[in-house]
Amino acid sequence: MDFNRPSVTVDLAIFTVLDADLKILLIRRKLAPFEGMWALPGGFVLVGPSAAEQGESVEDAAYRELEEETGLPRRTLYLEQLHTFGRPGRDPRERVITVAWVALVRPDLAPTVHAGTDAADARWFSVRDALADTDLAFDHSDIVDAALDRIRGKVDYSSISFELVPPTFTIAELRSAHEAIKGAAYDPGNFRRRFKRMQTDGVIAVAPGRRHTATKPAKVYRFVGPTPE
Query: Does residue 217 have a cis bond before it (omega within 30 degrees)?
Result: no
20 lies in the site for its own copies, by CB under 8 A: no
Mask for 94-113, x = binds its own copies (CB under 8 A): xx-x-x--------------
Which residue among 5, 75, 212, 216 contacts its own copies (CB under 8 A)? 5
**Angstrom distance (rounded) from CA 24 to CA 20:** 13
* Contact status, residue 130 vs residue 25, Cβ threshold 8 Å: no
182 lies in the site for its own copies, by CB under 8 A: no
Give the long-range contacts of residues 131-135, CB within 8 A, separation 24 or more.
134/26, 134/38, 135/37, 135/38
**Angstrom distance (rounded) from CA 210 to CA 216:** 10
| 45 contact choice in DNA, its own copies, none (CB below 5 to 8 Å, kind-dependent) | its own copies
56 lies in the site for its own copies, by CB under 8 A: yes
Which residue among 219, 225, 226, 227 contacts DNA (CB under 7 A)? 219
51 lies in the site for its own copies, by CB under 8 A: yes
Choose the stretch contacting its own copies; rule: CB under 8 A; options: 15-23, 76-84, 179-187, 203-211: 76-84
Choose the stretch contacting DNA; rule: CB under 7 A; options: 14-22, 105-113, 134-142, 167-175: 167-175
Alpha helices per DSSP H over the chain: 58-70, 113-116, 127-132, 140-154, 171-182, 188-200
Distance of CA 206 to the CA centre of its chain: 26
What's the DSSP call for residue 111?
A: G
Q: How far is the CB of 75 from DNA (least distance, A)?
A: 29
**Angstrom distance (rounded) from CA 149 to CA 103:** 14
Which residue among 28, 64, 83, 192 contacts its own copies (CB under 8 A)? 83
Q: Which residues would be at the binding site for DNA (CB under 7 A)?
A: 170-172, 187-190, 192-194, 196-197, 212-219
Q: Which residues would be at the binding site for its own copies (CB under 8 A)?
A: 1, 3-8, 44-49, 51, 54-59, 81, 83-89, 92-95, 97, 99
